[in-house]
A and B are shown apart, each in its own frame.
Chain A
Amino acid sequence: MLQNVSDFLVITKRQLLQMIRIPEVLIFATIQPAMFVLLFRFVFGGAIDSGVKGGYVQLLMPGIFVQTVAFTLAATAVGLAADMQKGLIDRFRSLPISRSAVVIGRTVGDTLQNIVTLIVMGLVGFLVGWRPSSGPVKVLLGFLFLLAFGYSMSWIGVLIGLSVREERVAQNLVFMTVFPLTFLSNAFAPTTGMPKILQYFAEWNPVSTMVAACRQLFGTQNIFGATANSWPSQNPILMSLIYMVLLVAIFAPISVRKYVRVSK
């Protein structure tokens, strides 16, 4: 057991080393969400009459946080697909390490990367007027929630990365799926403007429940959320937790199985 922990920590450490060896990757991974904060804040912020205290940026920040951590899926998928392509996964599989070490190490590493990204985004948000009003404990809880969501999304990325085996394909695939998922939600605009069927989807979309949960934890009224008094919009924190548990419970075993059998 102890050996298993040290195995996945070696893999996680490898990712942290990558960040140090090519800092550009982390810099771009951070600039992009920071740029999103600025663009949405100043492009949409002026046009949308949010009606909440502190303005649109209070609604925007939880949305952008969730979008960013949802993209952990992409980081994991692309990273693993690249490792597959280079034959590195084969080498790992020929080593006397536990069958879950590589994928756990990867998901944990990607989550650590999120910490850096979230700190930078939080600071940029603060600079442009984001003021969470719920007190430090709830704010911290909100960030932990975001990290946990990113971690559970990361497990979908494992399966995608090991299945497509090519960096470029993985990249296209995840962008095609994660982008719509984050926009068909309450992250940036009210869902009330969407056609009925999309509204229904947006209501149950884990991204929406996460955004609603974060708005609650950061102390902002979620006026982009519920039209109907549906269960997920009434209980966003609980619903998000259920989603996270489900994601890990479903995708972790499938992904580990995939790793055991995968073959270049």
Chain B
Amino acid sequence: MNSIIAHELVKTYDKGAVRALDGLNLDVKEGTVLGLLGPNGSGKTTTVRVLATLLTPDSGSATVAGIDVLKHPDEVRKVIGLSGQYAALDETLTGWDNLNMFGRLYHLNSSGAKKRAEELLEKFSLTEAAKRPIRTYSGGMRRRLDLAASLIVKPKVLFLDEPTTGLDPRGRMEMWEVIDDELKNQVGGERLEITVEANQIPEATKLVEQVTGTKPSVDNGIRKISAPVSNGSASLIQVLRLLDDAKIHPLDIGLKRPSLDDVFIALTGHVAEVVVEGGANVAKRK
């Protein structure tokens, strides 16, 4: 399925004097990461704002997660997360207050919103600052919380509009690490992979399933069995013991932690490339 389809989107400002989007077409596969690159004023933010239902285009159409952006914006809002160029938070409230409030607005119930707030604070290393007002946060902390707020309902499509603008180099790095982790979580984390002789595949598969608790995927051609694991090294040792007991000697065994590049390859089938579309068909500005 396509997570985003845009067809001939046009958006002008100042009564047509500025053409921010001039017939934009996008086709984004589910489970992929699309980066929009382009100079200031090339229409990147306008694109995000149209797709996130904040802005109505002059013409054209778009669907997000299969839902028509113009016809059913309310439905689109249920499945997207948006984190903009600045931290859009209530500065007087605490980090916890903010996440709890947004959780309620995403229609989680009272205990659900609280639980999600705590999970996200933990995940983004903000638990210690949870009870402090946002105005005491550093720029990097604000952005992390802003990102957390956009992940409350585990969105099908996440829009990040220059999530590191205005951060110092260290803040930038931290932010990208957080986003990187999040992407890996969404599209697959650490995996246990073993290669065995062909005749041992069925039994080894059973053992791997026993340890990891999930059905492993098996590639008979390269005789590789792999399954996602949460506690990598413990699972690895356990599998090794069981294999040894069963007198199976793997040709290769290891933990694989995907890099962002692996994720790209796994999902798109080719090497990650930076799609530079600033001057081309993403946004033309006359």
A261 to B82, CA, bound (A): 18
Interface string of B100-128 (1 = CB under 8 A from A): 01101111000000000000000000000
Q: Is the CB of A263 within 8 A of B55?
A: yes
Instruction: Collect the chain B residues with CB atoms within 8 Å of residue A93's CB.
Output: 53-54
A96 to B104, CA, bound (A): 11
User: A94 on the interface (CB 8 Å rule)?
Assistant: yes
Contact of B88 (CB < 8 Å), options: A17, A86, A263: A86
A: number of interface residues (CB 8 Å): 23
If A21-B133, A90-B84, A91-B149 touch, does A96 touch B89 (CB 8 Å cutoff)? no
A91 to B98, CA, bound (A): 12
B: number of interface residues (CB 8 Å): 32
Q: Is the CB of A94 within 8 A of B54?
A: yes
Contact of B97 (CB < 8 Å), options: A7, A17, A22: A17
Q: Is the CB of B92 within 8 A of A18?
A: yes
Chain B residue at minimal CB-CB distance from A89: B88
A18 to B98, CA, bound (A): 11
Interface string of A60-98 (1 = CB under 8 A from B): 000000000000000000000000001110111111110
User: B285 on the interface (CB 8 Å rule)?
Assistant: no
Instruction: Collect the chain A residues with CB atoms within 8 Å of residue B261's CB.
Output: none
A-contacting 9-mer, from B73-81, B166-174, B182-190, B206-214: B73-81
User: B266 on the interface (CB 8 Å rule)?
Assistant: no
Instruction: Collect the chain B residues with CB atoms within 8 Å of residue A263's CB.
Output: 49, 54-55
User: B94 on the interface (CB 8 Å rule)?
Assistant: yes
A21 to B54, CA, bound (A): 30
Instruction: Collect the chain B residues with CB atoms within 8 Å of residue A88's CB.
Output: 88-90
Interface string of A1-45 (1 = CB under 8 A from B): 001001100100110011001100000000000000000000000
User: B93 on the interface (CB 8 Å rule)?
Assistant: yes
User: B68 on the interface (CB 8 Å rule)?
Assistant: no
Q: Is the CB of A21 within 8 A of B92?
A: yes
Instruction: Collect the chain A residues with CB atoms within 8 Å of residue B104's CB.
Output: 6, 10
Instruction: Collect the chain A residues with CB atoms within 8 Å of residue B107's CB.
Output: 3, 96
User: B262 on the interface (CB 8 Å rule)?
Assistant: no
Q: Is the CB of A14 within 8 A of B149?
A: no
Interface residues of A (CB under 8 A from B): 3, 6-7, 10, 13-14, 17-18, 21-22, 86-88, 90-97, 261, 263
What are 8 A-B interface contacts by the 8 Å CB criterion? Answer: A3-B107, A10-B105, A14-B93, A18-B90, A18-B92, A86-B86, A94-B82, A95-B106
